[in-house]
Structure 1
């Protein structure tokens, strides 16, 4: 795994994880956790796993908000009570999964 974490293709592996994670997260919320696990696998340290997991979460939420805005539903989503909070909490599962995976491996 060191070749993937710190080698020549480390950034490419991370980009692939982000793309796969965004696709998986768009289908089901467990894809967010799976993406966090994959971020942890390709991260070179626990600190980097946390930062990259948090970055993935922000990218995911931004992509979701952009999609809602594109469809004209962002205002309705923001006013939907606890639903936006649930979305943000689910997105924050990625850094937790990333750190847990990296700390174990």
Structure 2
């Protein structure tokens, strides 16, 4: 499973590695990264072989500098509400 814009994914035996891959922007969490995480976390959850997931940040300055406020603060209110619900779903996948 590859082809993500903001992540890299590798699996070796029972270990999956997900790397946030926006080092030029300190790996900030943007809408595309949220979408990519949703897809990869769902696939990892459904893969019975995976026992461990390691999260890393590309580059040597930051794992993740937080949310990309330039994207999240410019969206209209109904869009923001949808994004918040979707973010809740993404974080729910972390827990599953």
TM bucket, shorter chain: 0.3 to 0.5
Structure-1-length-normalised TM-score: 0.33
Structure-2-length-normalised TM-score: 0.35
Bigger share in strand = 2
Name which one, 1 or 2, has greater alpha-carbon Rg: 1
Bigger share in helix = 1
